[in-house]
Structure 1
Amino acid sequence: MAKLFLKKPSKRMASRKRFKIEKKVKDHNRKLKKEAKKTGKYKHHAEKPISVPNKCPFKEEILLEAEKKREQLVEEKQKKKEMQKQLKTGQKRKLTDSAPGDTLESLAAKAAKRSENFVPTTKQVIDNLYERKEASLKAYASEVRKTIESADIVFQVLDARDPLGSRCASVEQSVIQGGKRLVLLLNKIDLVPKANVIKWLAYLRREFPTIAFKASTQEQATRLGRAGSNLSVTSSKCIGAELVMKLLGNYCRNKDIKTSIRVGIVGKNCIISLPFTTRCM
C-alpha cells in the first residue's frame, strides 16, 4: 500500500504579518510609556544598587555616604528643573507683559511708557550715526587738504562711467587757489564705448588737461606693460601712463626742477601723495 505523506504547516511567518505585529508592539509600548510619564512612575534609567564587597572594613559608612551623595544629586536636578521652569515663565511674562488681573487700560499705559522709553534711544542711534559721518567727512577733508598742500601737481581721478558724478568742485577750487597744477585722469575707459570716451575728453579738456587712463590687468606685477596714447583697450596693458610721464616731465622743465616733484592723487576712493623723480635737465 502506498504511504500517504502529509505536509506539516510551516512555522515561517510572512513578513507582512511580522511587520504588523512589530508595529502593534511598538505602539503598545509607547502608550505604556506615556501613561507612566503622566503618573510619574516611568524612569529612564533604573537606579543601580550600590555594591560594596563584604570584606571592606567600613562597608556601612561607605554605603551611607553613597546614599547621601545620590540624594544630593537628585536634589540638584530638581533645583535645576525648577530654575528652568521659572526662567521660561519669566520670559513668557516679558513677552506678553500681561498679568491675569491686567485690564485694557493698564496694558495701554504700559505700551505708552515703552514707546516713551524707545523714542530717545532711536534718536540717540541716529545722532551717533550722523556724528560718525561728520567725523569721517572731516577726516577725509583734512587728508585732502594735506595732499593738496604738499603736492606740486594734483591728479583728480574720474570714473569714465560717470565723470561728473565723481568730480568734486570744492577740491578743484582749493587746488587752483593754492596755485597748484590740476590734471583730470579719466579712469576705467575700458568699461565705456570709445565714442563716449572721445566726447568726454573733448568736454573736459575745455577746463583742465585730461588724460584717458586704464590700469593694467596683468597678474604679475613685475611685467606690467604700457601702451601708447591710442584707445585700443582690448589688451591687458596700461593705457595713459606714457602721457602722464610726459606731462610730469614737461612740468619739471617749465619749472626748472632737476631733482623730483611731489604728485597728489585725489579721487572718490583714494588720497595719495607721493614723490616723482625726474631726469630732465
Structure 2
Amino acid sequence: MTLPKIVAITGASNGMGKAALELFAAQGWIVYGGARHVENIPTGTNVHALKLDVTDSTSNQHFIQTILTEQNRIDVLINNAGYGENGPIEDVSLANARKQFETNFFGAAELTQLVLPTMRAQKSGRIVNISSIGGDAYSPLGAYYHASKAALQQWSDTLDIEVQPFGIRSIIVQPGGTQSAWGATAMENVRKNLQPNSPYVDFVDLMGKSLDSDAQGMSATVEDLAKVFYAAATDSKPKRRYFNSLSDRLIVYVARAHPKLFRKSVLKTLKRWGKDVK
C-alpha cells in the first residue's frame, strides 16, 4: 500500500496558495496549509490549516514541527507566501524593504532549512519556490519586490546544486499576470509608501493605469497556476523553471538575454501612458 505524500504550502489562505492546496488535496495528498489568516484556509479530511507568519522564526518552527510530529515526513515544501511592498525607491522606508525580504526571501530560507534534515534522511524531497517573472523582468515602483524575487531565484539555484546528491530538488515557479488581488494590494502599498509631496506621483498614477490595463488582459487564473505548482512538485524529471504560458517565458527570456530591448519596451510602455523617460 502506497502512503499518501505530504505537502506543506505557505500563503495558503488565498490566491495561488489556496488553489494549490485544493488541487493537492483533490489528488490525494495530505496537505498542510499555513497562513496568517488561518480562518481563510479551507479544511477537510486530508487538509490541515495552521497559523503561520513566515517572518516569525517561532511560527516557522511550530509549522514544520507540527507536520513532522503528525506525519514523520515532508515530501514537498511550497514556499508561496509573498506580497509586493511597492513604491518609489526613494520613498519606501528601509524598514518596509526589510519586511519585504523577510516575507519573500528569508521566510522561505528558514522553512527550507527546517525541512532539509528530514528530506536528507528520507533521501527525497522537493522545495518549490514561487518567484515571479518579476524576478528577471522589472517595472517602476517594484524595486524591492523584484530584488526579493531575484534573490530567491539565485538562492534556489544554488540550493538545487547543493541538495541534488541527497535526492532533493529546489525548483522555481515564475508566475506572470494572474487574476488575483495581488495588483490591488501592491497599489495599496505604493500609496501607503508615497511620501508627502513625493516627486513620483506621476509614476504612481501611471502604474495604477498599467495595473488596471494588465488586469483586464489577464487570462491566467489561480487554478492555472496551481497546476503549474503541482507539475513542479511531481514531475519525475523536474525543470529548473516553470512557467504558465509562453508569453511569461518570453518576457523572462528577453529581460535576461536582451536587456537593452527589455528596457526599451518598459520605456515604450511608460511613454504610451504619458510619461516620457529616456
TM-score interval w.r.t. the shorter chain? Answer: under 0.3
* TM-score, length basis structure 1: 0.27
Q: Which has the higher contact order (CA 8 A, sep 6+)?
A: 2
